[in-house]
């Protein structure tokens, strides 16, 4: 029998605009949480922000306003549904840039009000956290590692909505450290992909960069010392161009070692054998390979977000919204955005 996009309900349209990516997705699912992404559209602003070496909030919000309506129309066409067939509208409520959050959040509320459908305010971090399981049937108990430009978090997940923070960054997030070190080395924004590409031909053992807090008993992270060590090493290098590959490989290896060591410690501490990785930094192929090798050796199940769901996207927001919809948990239209919204209550 030919599958129809309307045979699985509800239909959730989600908007993600927490930083510099404008994204719209439409997701369907049933009460067994079988899901299908009917549309996932993203408009990247990287070329706009590259000359500035980072995200400029005013540019980001202005372009969200320009891009959002065409993306919504494109998503509806791709999903082959009309706006009145959507059962709920979801949007990121935080954390993120307030000027960016407002664009997507207000648009989703307006659509919910106009169609008399429910509104769902979604935590951006919860979207990342749940994304490794988007196409599966349930959210298992596991340890989650979220690694992005703004966050490095270890979380014990008992079920969707039931989270305990085990560790977080005390200074720079992993992705932030990538961006700052890339800038030191003269690599373009965004730093993560450019350091990864440059590190491919480098020697990860060439420079003995520190692994901050790796052997402490707690599960917090710190990458500021690593960043400073890279900075202090630069004046000692005669030819940066010939050392760039080794610098990037050594820096990247230090970050991955800390993330892996802390994740394995968290699994042991909580007596769990399932680890999930999400967030933009989890797209790094060296990181994925090292985590997979270590987890295979230890008999640990590793769940990874699909590559197109690692960076900011609306499909993960739609999935979090779908789960909330199935639980009957909705939000009022006057609910505020929260630029510093926490995942933990």
- Residue 94: its H or E element: strand 88-94
96 and 173 co-located in one domain: no
126 and 232 co-located in one domain: no
At 33 the pLDDT is 55
CA 218, distance to chain mean position in Å, is 24
At 1 the pLDDT is 23
159 and 108 co-located in one domain: no
240 and 161 co-located in one domain: yes
Q: What is the pLDDT of residues 253-290, one digit of tens each?
A: 999 999 999 999 999 999 999 999 999 999 999 999 99
* Within a domain: 343: no
Strand order from edge to edge, sheet including 152-159: 162-168, 152-159, 142-147, 274-278, 301-304
* Within a domain: 3: no
Residue 114 maps to which CATH number? 3.30.420.40
Distance, CA of 90 to CA of 78 (rounded, Å): 18
120 and 228 co-located in one domain: no
Q: What is the pLDDT of residues 97-149, one digit of tens each?
A: 999 999 999 999 999 999 999 999 999 999 999 999 998 868 999 999 999 98
Distance, CA of 19 to CA of 337 (rounded, Å): 13
44 and 107 co-located in one domain: yes
**How many domains does the structure of the chain reveal?**
2
127 and 152 co-located in one domain: no
pTM value? 0.93
**Low pLDDT (below 50) residues in the chain:** 1-7
Distance, CA of 225 to CA of 195 (rounded, Å): 18
Do residues 12 and 83 lie in contact, with contact meaning Cβ atoms separated by under 8 Å? no
Contacts of 311 (CB under 8 A, 6+ apart): 21, 280, 283
176: containing domain: 140-305
17 and 60 co-located in one domain: yes
148 and 285 co-located in one domain: yes
């Amino acid at each position: 029998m030919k599958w129809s996009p309307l045979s699985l309900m509800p239909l959730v349209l989600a908007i993600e605009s927490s930083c510099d990516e404008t994204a719209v997705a439409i997701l369907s699912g049933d009460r067994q949480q079988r899901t299908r992404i009917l549309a996932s559209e993203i408009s990247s602003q990287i070329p706009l922000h590259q000359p500035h070496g980072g995200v400029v909030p005013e540019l980001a919000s202005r372009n969200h306003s320009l891009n959002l309506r065409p993306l919504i129309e494109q998503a509806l066409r791709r999903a082959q549904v009309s706006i009145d067939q959507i059962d709920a509208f979801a949007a990121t409520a935080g954390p993120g840039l307030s000027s960016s959050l407002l664009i997507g959040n207000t648009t989703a509320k307006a659509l919910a009000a106009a169609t008399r459908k429910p509104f769902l305010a979604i935590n951006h971090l919860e979207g990342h956290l749940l994304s490794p399981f988007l196409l599966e049937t349930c959210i298992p108990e596991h340890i989650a590692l979220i690694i992005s430009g703004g966050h490095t978090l270890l979380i014990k997940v008992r079920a969707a909505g039931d989270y305990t923070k085990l560790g977080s960054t005390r200074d720079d997030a992993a992705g932030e450290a990538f961006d700052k070190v890339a800038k030191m080395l003269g690599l373009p924004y965004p730093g993560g992909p450019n350091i990864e590409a440059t590190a491919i031909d480098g020697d990860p053992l060439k420079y003995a960069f520190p692994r901050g807090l790796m052997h402490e008993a707690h599960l917090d992270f710190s990458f500021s010392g690593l960043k400073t060590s890279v900075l202090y090493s630069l004046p000692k290098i005669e030819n940066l161009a010939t050392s760039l590959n080794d610098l990037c490989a050594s820096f990247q290896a230090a970050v991955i070692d800390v993330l892996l060591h802390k994740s394995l410690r968290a699994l042991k501490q909580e007596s769990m054998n399932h680890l999930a990785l999400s967030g933009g930094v989890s797209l790094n192929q060296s990181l994925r390979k090292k985590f997979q090798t270590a987890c295979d050796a230890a008999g640990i199940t590793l769940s990874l977000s699909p590559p197109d769901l690692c960076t900011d996207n609306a499909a993960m927001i739609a999935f979090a919204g779908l789960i909330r919809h199935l639980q009957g948990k909705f939000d009022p239209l006057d609910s505020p955005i929260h630029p510093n919204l926490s995942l933990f209550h």
